[in-house]
Structure 1
């Protein structure tokens, strides 16, 4: 799941990016409203975390322009705590409003609540053979056996289950699960695939995660 953060305070932006990445999100971070609007209009984000006081185009203006074209969920994260500011944000089309200083756990809970509403994110349980993944509750199981995954392993499996029977290249996986600046000389994808396979495939008779030599990886049920 991709999140866009539009935050000009370097410390806050970096803190949010680190925390959300550790919780399995792919995060883009920009420092001004113009860049935020460009990415919001051209990208496919599950949710946007938006500050109000931004250089150039402020958060109010960015949201106003965004709502002319897209209904991506937006949560304002701002130091402006007056009632009229909250009302203005919600009337412009924000889905939630959180005042700084904030607890990261509360922000994370609010983000997951927005995702549960499922306007832009496929929230139903995904399944192939006896493997099931619940993206909201973040649960994975094969039959009655619960499978515990790290945040990146979960994101990788979620991606592959949304693209069942499609061969996904190493580059595509890296861009979706890590970020666009992924170093192609590393073996992080192979390592993640190997660890995921060890948990959700190796202990079971029916194998679902397959390597397609020279092309990438595919999740599918084979005879």
Structure 2
């Protein structure tokens, strides 16, 4: 569970509500597994942060945490999450290479689509360096080459075209387009607000990716 508040005072009130609910229903929050993350504002860094207490214990202040598998950082940048996905992709690829080295090309392509094209939460990546993004792209291309035993310097676009499989940029565009469509079709009030704001930077980012300008 995540609580969001614009101030420490507001966060304390939210926690008090949670504690009251837990007491009424015979529950207890684990303060050792609870953390506080302060999102940085432009040109504003707090000199000191008052303690946030849960069940009598001051919560640890962190600079990043993982929520539903996605790494969230204090500066709201996605480099660490992209690196998480790059490492996970490398692990999955190595597993496929070890276990299915003697399989046919058709089997390897099916496995690649199933295990290497998920790129979890990639449609949410918004603020990142080109270096981190390129590292994931190179990992994706190399995973395909190694699995299918292709030459290291063969053309990435040609090898994906010949295999009738999505390349990295095509895959990202499909992930973004899918999320964009789901946001626009959602009945959730917050998502409807985002979908209705055509000056929203996230919408502009999605649109740029879908038409190939990012």
TM-score higher than 0.5: no
Q: Give 1 or 2: higher helix fraction.
A: 2
Normalised by the size of structure 1, how large is the TM-score?
A: 0.31
| Structure with bigger gyration radius | 2
Normalised by the size of structure 2, how large is the TM-score?
A: 0.31
